[in-house]
Amino acid sequence: MNLQILWTSIALQSLSEVFEYTFSEFGEHQLRKLTSQIYHTTHRIAAFPKLGRFEDEISEAMGVEYRSIQVINEISLLYTISDETIFIEFVKNARMDDATMLAKLSE
């Protein structure tokens, strides 16, 4: 059973920031590699929605069950599951703390 994947506007904005940083610091080859890894990760959670780690603090603060899955060491996807859809809510860089991410999610 594959669920539909939808990206929120906040997730797309954070994804764009990650892509810009990756390209400027590491070049096109690493950007393509990261893009491929994100693609494969989203397909894995579409097939296995509960694969990601349950995020206690964020879920409690936002009132919705949030999960995260690591794409690479520095990047993870934060997502929610609703009926037959997975919403990618945010693309998190490992250097970002949860308070900053919560502030962005609450905008």
| Predicted model pTM | 0.91
Options 3.40.50.1370, 3.10.580.10, 1.10.3720.10, 3.30.2310.20; CATH for 4-105 is 3.30.2310.20
pLDDT confidence bin for 104, thresholds 50/70/90: confident
Q: Pairing state of beta strands 85-93 and 75-82?
A: antiparallel
Kindly report, residue by residue over 39-83, the tens digit of the pLDDT.
Answer: 999 999 999 999 999 999 889 988 999 999 999 999 999 999 998
| pLDDT digit string, tens, across residues 76-96 | 999 999 989 999 999 998 777
